[in-house]
């Protein structure tokens, strides 16, 4: 079993401190899921895993229900509520990246059972009239996406082909951002407001973030999420909202600690590592 420094630090250092000082700033918890399936991620450290088993997912949704969390419909509502003076506690947005079909078969029935909603971000090149494969897994069909939308699931953009946008030129970035939004709107007949950045987010490059924000705004998006760990607050950039990654290795204690804010600390070493890579000249930007 892999040693989980993040879990030990969260549960036995950060969580006790936060409970003692009762830090209670307005924030929302945006959960980041990918695949809900029976899959072994052998050789992948628990921190980097992206699969949650159906049983663990059901238990996590039960934890949300039992703890009285309010699962809101999409990022737009969450941002609005976070900025209101009478902001309430325990607000959660549940998000899924990659458009996998196992959301439809394994996650949606559980969400429906508890009356929860979610946002699914679609890489549109892999969503077809028949099931297409992405990363070795079946993706949703457009008919299934329409059914989910009718039942209150929000559909957002996860680009067209799921590239690392940081390595793309300006024209390709624009096509990935605009093309995916247009396709979803044409197929579903609804406005697409939210965008999910694929892969690790280059948060240390302010120039890239500025240009990307401009492209998202011009394309008509209102908000978005990235892979930076943490919980956004009223002053957070609405286009690059932080999230809390979740997978099968999140036991109930760690899962609830993440929702309480005890996992937010990890964004600092995450940022330091990215800065170190930047200073070392790892990667170049061609925006």
In tens, the pLDDT along 150-191 reads: 999 999 999 999 999 999 999 999 999 999 999 999 999 999
* pLDDT class of 85 with cuts at 50, 70, 90: confident
Ranges of each domain in the chain: 26-153+223-265
24 or 65, greater pLDDT: 65
Q: Is the confidence at residue 285, as pLDDT, over 60?
A: no
Contacts of 3 (CB under 8 A, 6+ apart): none
pLDDT at 121: 98
Instruction: Tell me whether residue 78 is exposed, middle or buried, using C-beta atoms within 10 angstroms of its C-beta: 0 to 12, 13 to 18, 19 or more.
Output: buried
Architecture of domain 26-153+223-265: Alpha-Beta Barrel (3.20)
For residue 194, is pLDDT > 70? yes
Using CA atoms, how far apart are residues 271 and 204, in angstroms rounded to an integer?
7
Output the average pLDDT for the chain: 93
pLDDT tens-digit profile of 96-148? 999 999 999 999 999 999 999 999 999 999 999 999 999 999 999 999 999 99
Pick 197 or 279 by higher pLDDT: 197
- Assess contact for 93 and 232: CB atoms under 8 A: no
pLDDT of 279:
82
Both tokens of residue 253?
A: 């204690």
Question: Residue 84 pLDDT more than 90?
Answer: no
């Amino acid at each position: 079993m892999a040693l989980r420094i993040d879990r030990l630090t969260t549960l036995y250092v950060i969580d006790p401190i936060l409970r003692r000082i009762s830090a209670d700033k307005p924030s929302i918890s945006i959960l980041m899921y990918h695949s809900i399936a029976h899959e072994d991620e052998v050789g992948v450290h628990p921190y980097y895993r992206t699969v949650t088993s159906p049983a663990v997912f059901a238990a996590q949704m039960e934890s949300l229900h039992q703890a009285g969390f309010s699962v809101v419909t999409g990022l737009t509502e969450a941002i609005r509520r976070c900025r209101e003076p009478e902001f309430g506690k325990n607000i959660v947005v549940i998000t899924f990246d990659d458009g996998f079909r196992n959301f439809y078969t394994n996650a949606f029935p559980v969400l429906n059972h508890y009356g929860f909603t979610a946002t699914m971000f679609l890489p549109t090149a892999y969503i077809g009239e028949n099931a297409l494969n992405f990363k070795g897994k079946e993706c949703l069909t457009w008919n299934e996406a329409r059914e989910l939308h009718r039942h209150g699931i929000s559909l957002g953009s996860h680009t067209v082909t799921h590239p690392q946008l940081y390595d793309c030129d300006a024209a390709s970035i624009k096509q990935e951002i605009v093309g995916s939004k247009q396709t979803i709107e044409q197929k579903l007949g609804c406005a697409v407001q939210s965008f999910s950045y694929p892969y690790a987010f280059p948060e240390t490059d302010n120039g890239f973030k500025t240009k990307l924000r401009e492209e998202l705004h011009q394309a008509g998006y209102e908000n978005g999420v990235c892979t930076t760990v943490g919980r956004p607050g009223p002053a957070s950039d609405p286009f690059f909202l932080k999230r809390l990654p979740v997978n099968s290795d999140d036991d109930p204690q760690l899962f609830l600690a993440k929702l309480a804010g005890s996992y937010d600390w990890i964004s600092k070493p995450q940022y330091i590592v990215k800065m170190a890579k930047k200073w070392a000249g790892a990667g170049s930007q061609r925006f």
